[in-house]
């Protein structure tokens, strides 16, 4: 099988909005942040009926950070900063699509008092493929104006990075990265392409554009960027281009056919359905072996080989422990959910 692009889309999107945080809202934010600091866990904070948590600490230069599994909202009352900066995460973009996700972020920002869109500050595009594993020798033939070139190995994966400023390109083993990130639901997106081979690794080309680069492409406004996603990805492949060496001057080297195949095989990126449910199920599956092991150990201590009886007896012991230690089960579950929602306030 030659190189085939099995999935492409928007991986991260940041947008800014201007307006004014009302005194009443700031008071609520301060109370919520204070409560989070007091309890050392994120505090529930709904926005327009959508559940978020407010984190105990802000994220410089933002005073308030509201998080859920789909997006982060960073708020500031200072005039030198956008009132709201929204970062749509991979899960949110997969669930709602880039247009739907952006519309949701804009509505949330407006409900917070920031109804004036000020454009995109970051846009990450990607193309996932199978059928070619880039070697280090091949990646030496990438022609790119960026001074920075980095290569590093993490576990079983290799990452090649070009650039550090307004434009950054990364080429890496996405399958290996899933083992670290736990985003196993992404396999569902790959499986929608009948050519996907679950036994072969998936590699990713990813280009990250910051505001200055988006401005150069006249794609700072969301609607302009969304109309040019394929072209923006192709521009990233051209800016950081794999070529076939022939002669001494790289200027005369031709574009590697596999690089052209990546550009020609993109751009789809339709929203997935039920990503949150699939994501949570995948995480639960990781807990099952631990639960099974603990249950077997407990049953052995109780000398009870029948699973149903052992499970009931262990439940009685757990309940007695919670009562003895004065632990509220429902409260513990809620706090753990908040940690899940608020984790990675600055992550991708």
At 146-180, the pLDDT tens digits run 999 999 886 667 899 999 989 999 999 999 988 88
The reported pLDDT for the residue numbered 321 is 79
The answer to whether residue 269 scores a pLDDT higher than 50 is no
- CA end-to-end span of the chain: 32
pLDDT for residue 345:
39
User: Which region among 100-109, 309-318, 328-337 has the lowest average model confidence (pLDDT)?
Assistant: 328-337
Burial of 82 (C-beta count, 10 Å sphere; 0-12/13-18/19+): buried
Statement: residue 274 has pLDDT above 50: no
Count of residues making up the chain = 348
Report which of 12, 6, 3, 4 is spatially closest to residue 210, judged by C-alpha positions.
12
- pTM of the predicted structure, to 2 decimals: 0.77
In angstroms, the CA 320 to CA 324 distance is 6
What does the pLDDT average to over 312-335?
Answer: 78
Residue 25: pLDDT over 90: yes
Q: Is the pLDDT of residue 270 over 70?
A: no
Alpha-carbon torsion (169, 171, 174, 177), positive or negative: negative
Greatest Cα-to-Cα distance within the chain, rounded to the nearest angstrom? 78
- pLDDT, tens only, 2-15: 899 999 999 999 99
The stretch 308-329 carries a mean pLDDT of 83
In this model, does residue 278 exceed pLDDT 70? no
Stretch among 1-5, 49-53, 182-186, 285-289 having the lowest mean pLDDT:
285-289
Residue 228's pLDDT is 92
Q: Residue 224: exposed, middle, or buried by beta-carbon count in 10 A (0-12, 13-18, 19+)?
A: middle
Name the more confident of 206 and 180. 206
> Residue 198: is its pLDDT beyond 50?
yes
Residue 275: count of CB within 10 angstroms of its CB:
23
In this model, does residue 82 exceed pLDDT 60? yes
Contact, 76 vs 83, CB < 8 A? Answer: yes
Two structure tokens written together for 50 = 């959508």
Does 61 sit behind a cis peptide bond, omega within 30 degrees of 0 on the bond before it?
Answer: yes
The confidence score (pLDDT) of residue 1 equals 63
Q: How much is the average pLDDT of 245-252?
A: 79
């Amino acid at each position: 099988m030659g190189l085939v692009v099995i999935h492409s889309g928007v991986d991260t999107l940041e947008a800014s909005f201007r307006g004014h945080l009302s005194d009443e809202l700031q008071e609520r934010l301060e109370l919520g942040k204070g409560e989070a600091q007091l309890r050392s866990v994120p505090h529930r904070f709904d926005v327009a009926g959508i559940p978020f948590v407010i984190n105990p600490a802000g994220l410089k230069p933002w005073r308030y950070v509201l998080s859920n599994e789909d997006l982060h909202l960073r708020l500031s009352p200072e005039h030198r900063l956008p009132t709201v900066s929204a970062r749509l995460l991979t899960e949110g973009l997969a669930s709602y699509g880039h247009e739907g996700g952006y519309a949701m972020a804009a509505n949330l920002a407006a409900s917070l008092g920031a109804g004036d869109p000020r454009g995109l500050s970051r846009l990450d595009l990607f193309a996932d493929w199978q059928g070619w594993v880039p070697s280090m020798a091949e990646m030496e033939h990438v022609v790119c104006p960026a001074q920075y070139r980095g290569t590093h190995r993490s576990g079983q994966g290799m990452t090649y990075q070009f650039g550090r400023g307004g434009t950054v390109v990364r080429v890496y083993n996405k399958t290996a990265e899933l083992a670290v990130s736990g985003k196993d639901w992404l396999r569902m997106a790959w499986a929608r392409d009948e050519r996907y081979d679950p036994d072969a690794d998936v590699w990713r080309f990813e280009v990250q554009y910051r505001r200055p680069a988006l401005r150069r492409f006249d794609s700072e406004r969301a609607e302009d960027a969304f109309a040019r996603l394929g072209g923006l990805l192709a521009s990233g492949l051209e800016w950081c281009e794999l070529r076939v060496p022939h002669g001494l001057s790289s200027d005369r080297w031709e574009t590697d056919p596999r690089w052209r195949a990546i550009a020609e095989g993109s751009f789809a990126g339709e929203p997935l359905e039920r990503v949150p449910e699939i994501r949570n199920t995948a995480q639960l599956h990781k807990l099952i072996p631990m639960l099974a092991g603990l249950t077997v150990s407990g049953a052995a201590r109780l000398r009870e080989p029948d699973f149903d009886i052992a499970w009931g007896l262990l439940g009685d012991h757990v309940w007695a422990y919670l009562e003895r230690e004065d632990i509220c089960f429902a409260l513990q579950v809620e706090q753990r959910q908040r940690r899940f929602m608020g984790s990675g306030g600055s992550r991708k």
